C-alpha cells in the first residue's frame, strides 16, 4: 500500500507545468440597429390604448365574471423586440468553440431536468440571452460566458448548425478574459471547488497575478487557500485520468487533489507508475468511484489515518487560522479554515469577559463576517 506522508505541507506539494494553447485576441465590433428601438416604441404606443380599454371593461365586471374562462387571452401588448447590447452580433452556432482557459471545460454540460426550460427556449435562438465570446485568429469564437446556453443550443439545433445566435463580442486579451471569469466564479456564480481553483490558477498563469493579490481581491479566500487551490488545479490538469475515475470529477475536493499531489511528490518512480497503471486498469474496466473510494482503489494510504475513510482529512483540524483582534490589538478569537474552504469562527468564553470586552469582541467578529460576505470590500 502506497502512503502519503501526512507531515508534508500543502505548499510543498508536487507542482506541475502544463502546455496551454494561446487563444488569439483579434476583436470585431457590431453596431446596434436604432430602428429596432423606434419600432418597439411605436408598437407599444399603438397598443397602450387597447390595454387601457380592456382594463376598464374588466373593472366593470362583478367578481364571478372577472375570473371567468371567457377572458380574452389575446388582450394586452406583446413583448417588445429585444434591445441589442453593446457589441452584439449574430454569429453562426457552428463557429462557437470552447475557451481553452474556462474552468468548467471538464464539468458536466447540461442537466436535462434543471435545464429543461433553457433547452425548450433554444428551439428559437432569439429567445436565448447573448453569449459572451472572444474572436480567434481562425475566425471562430471562444465562449467566455454562457456555456449552458451554448450547450442547450447545440442540443436542440445540432453542433454543425449554421443558425445564427445572439452573441456579444468580448474586447480584451486572454489576461482580461480569465480575470472576468474569475470575478464571476468568486463573486457571482456558484461553482464547484475545483472549478474555482482552475479560475484562480488561470489568473496567475495568464494574467501574472500574485496569490497575495488574489486573496486581497477576494477576501473570502486566504493566501493559504489560494496556494492549495493552485496545487489542486495543477494536479487535476496533470492527472485527469485519475480524477475522471470519479462519478463526479467536477465535484472533486481540494483536499483530495492536494493529498494526491503530496503522494506524487514523495513517491518513488515505481510507486507512481504503479498508481497510474492501476488508474489505467480501472478506466478500461469502466469503474466509477466515489471520492472516498479513490485512494483505496489506487492503493494509496494516508499515513496515520488507517482507520479513517481513505482520501479524507480530519474535518476538525484547521489548515490555517487568523487571529481576530479586538480593542488594543488584543486577541478575542480566530477565524479558522478547515478542509475544503470550510471556515469556522473560534469564539471566546463570554463568561470570562466584562460587558465592554464582549461589545468589543462582538464588533470584531461582525467585521470579519462582513469581510467574508464581501460587504466591506473597497471601503
C-alpha dist (Å) from residue 376 to 148, 218, 328, 362, 373 = 32, 11, 22, 17, 8
Specify the DSSP class assigned to residue 2.
E
The segment with the largest mean pLDDT, out of 28-37, 60-69, 342-351, is 342-351
State how far the Cα of 235 lies from the Cα of 218, in Å rounded to an integer.
23
Choice among 67-76, 95-104, 330-339 with the minimum mean pLDDT: 67-76
CA angle 232, 235, 240 (to 5 degrees): 120
pLDDT bin (cut points 50, 70, 90) of residue 340 is low
Q: Would you put residue 18 in left (φ > 0), alpha (ψ -120 to 50) or beta?
A: beta
pLDDT bin (cut points 50, 70, 90) of residue 84 is confident
Residue 311 is predicted with a pLDDT of 41
Q: Provide the b/e sequence for 264-283 (b: ≥16 CB within 10 Å).
A: bbbbeeebbebbeebbeebe
Task: Supply the angle between the helices 174-187 and 193-207 in degrees, to the nearest 10.
Answer: 150
Residue 77 is predicted with a pLDDT of 62
* DSSP H or E stretch at residue 141: strand 141-145
pTM > 0.85: yes or no: no
pLDDT bin (cut points 50, 70, 90) of residue 213 is confident
Residue 288 burial class via C-beta count within 10 angstroms: exposed 0-12, middle 13-18, buried 19 and up: middle
- Between 288 and 302, where is the model more confident? 288
Residue 259 is predicted with a pLDDT of 92
- Between 307 and 254, where is the model more confident? 254
Q: Are 304 and 7 in contact (CB under 8 A)?
A: no
- Average per-residue pLDDT in the chain? 75
- Between 296 and 80, where is the model more confident? 296
What is the average pLDDT across 115-132? 86
C-alpha dist (Å) from residue 237 to 82, 200, 205, 234 = 41, 13, 13, 5
Cell of 24: 488569439
Assess whether pLDDT exceeds 60 at residue 48.
no
Give the domains, in start order, of the chain with CATH numbers: 2-20+176-302 (1.10.10), 33-83 (no CATH), 320-372 (no CATH)
Report phi then psi at 309, rounded to 5.
-55, 135
Assess whether pLDDT exceeds 90 at residue 1.
no
Residue 230 is predicted with a pLDDT of 92
Residue 271 is predicted with a pLDDT of 93
Residue 193 is predicted with a pLDDT of 85
Residue 31 is predicted with a pLDDT of 36
Residue 207 is predicted with a pLDDT of 87
Residue 185 is predicted with a pLDDT of 77
Residue 365 is predicted with a pLDDT of 84
Q: Which residues pair with 90 in a beta bridge?
A: 166
- For 241-286, write each residue's pLDDT tens digit: 999 999 989 889 898 999 999 999 989 999 999 999 999 999 999 9
Residue 306 burial class via C-beta count within 10 angstroms: exposed 0-12, middle 13-18, buried 19 and up: exposed
Chain centroid to CA 355: how far?
Answer: 43
- For 347-375, write each residue's pLDDT tens digit: 887 776 778 778 888 888 888 787 777 67
Assess whether pLDDT exceeds 90 at residue 295.
yes
State how far the Cα of 149 lies from the Cα of 159, in Å rounded to an integer.
13
What is the average pLDDT across 196-223? 84
What is the arrangement of strands in the sheet containing 96-98, beginning at the earlier edge strand?
A: 88-92, 164-169, 131-135, 141-145, 96-98
Residue 186 is predicted with a pLDDT of 76
Q: How many CB atoms lie within 10 A of CB 178?
A: 27
Q: Are 264 and 272 in contact (CB under 8 A)?
A: yes
Q: Which residues pair with 91 in a beta bridge?
A: 165
C-alpha dist (Å) from residue 349 to 66, 337, 357, 362 = 63, 20, 11, 12
Identify which of 89, 96, 113, 102 has the alpha carbon closest to the alpha carbon of residue 154. Answer: 96
What is the average pLDDT across 127-136? 92
Q: Is 189 strand, coil or helix?
A: coil
Specify the DSSP class assigned to residue 160.
T
Amino acid at each position: 500500500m502506497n502512503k502519503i506522508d501526512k507531515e508534508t505541507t500543502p505548499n510543498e506539494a508536487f507542482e506541475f507545468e502544463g502546455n496551454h494553447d494561446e487563444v488569439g485576441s483579434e476583436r470585431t465590433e457590431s453596431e446596434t440597429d436604432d430602428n429596432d428601438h423606434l419600432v418597439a416604441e411605436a408598437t407599444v404606443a399603438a397598443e397602450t390604448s387597447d390595454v387601457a380599454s380592456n382594463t376598464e371593461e374588466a373593472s366593470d365586471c362583478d367578481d364571478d365574471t372577472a375570473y371567468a374562462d371567457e377572458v380574452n387571452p389575446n388582450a394586452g401588448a406583446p413583448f417588445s423586440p429585444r434591445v441589442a447590447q453593446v457589441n452584439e452580433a449574430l454569429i453562426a452556432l457552428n463557429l462557437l468553440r470552447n475557451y481553452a482557459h474556462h474552468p468548467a471545460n471538464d464539468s458536466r454540460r447540461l442537466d436535462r431536468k434543471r435545464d429543461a426550460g433553457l433547452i425548450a427556449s433554444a428551439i428559437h435562438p432569439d429567445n436565448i440571452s447573448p453569449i459572451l465570446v472572444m474572436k480567434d485568429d481562425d475566425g471562430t469564437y471562444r465562449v467566455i460566458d454562457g456555456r449552458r446556453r451554448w450547450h442547450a443550443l447545440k442540443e436542440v439545433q445540432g453542433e454543425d448548425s449554421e443558425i445564427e445566435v445572439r452573441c456579444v463580442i468580448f474586447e480584451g486579451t486572454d489576461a482580461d478574459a480569465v480575470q472576468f471569469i474569475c470575478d464571476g466564479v468568486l463573486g457571482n456564480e456558484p461553482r464547484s471547488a475545483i472549478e474555482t481553483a482552475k479560475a484562480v490558477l488561470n489568473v496567475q498563469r495568464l494574467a501574472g497575478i500574485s496569490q497575495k493579490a488574489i486573496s486581497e481581491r477576494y477576501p473570502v479566500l486566504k493566501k493559504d487557500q489560494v496556494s492549495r487551490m493552485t496545487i489542486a488545479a495543477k494536479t487535476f490538469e496533470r492527472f485527469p485520468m485519475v480524477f475522471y475515475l470519479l462519478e463526479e470529477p467536477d465535484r472533486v475536493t481540494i483536499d483530495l487533489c492536494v493529498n494526491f499531489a503530496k503522494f506524487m511528490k514523495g513517491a518513488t518512480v515505481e510507486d507512481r507508475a504503479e498508481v497510474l497503471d492501476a488508474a489505467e486498469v480501472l478506466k478500461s474496466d469502466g469503474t466509477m468511484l466515489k471520492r472516498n473510494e479513490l485512494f483505496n482503489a489506487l492503493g494509496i494510504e494516508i499515513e496515520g489515518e488507517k482507520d479513517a475513510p481513505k482520501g479524507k482529512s480530519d474535518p476538525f483540524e484547521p489548515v490555517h487560522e487568523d487571529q481576530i483582534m479586538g480593542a488594543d490589538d488584543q486577541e478575542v478569537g480566530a477565524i479558522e479554515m478547515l478542509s475544503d474552504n470550510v471556515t469556522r469562527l473560534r469564539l471566546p468564553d463570554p463568561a470570562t469577559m466584562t460587558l465592554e470586552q464582549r461589545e468589543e469582541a462582538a464588533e470584531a467578529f461582525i467585521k470579519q463576517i462582513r469581510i467574508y460576505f464581501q460587504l466591506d470590500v473597497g471601503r
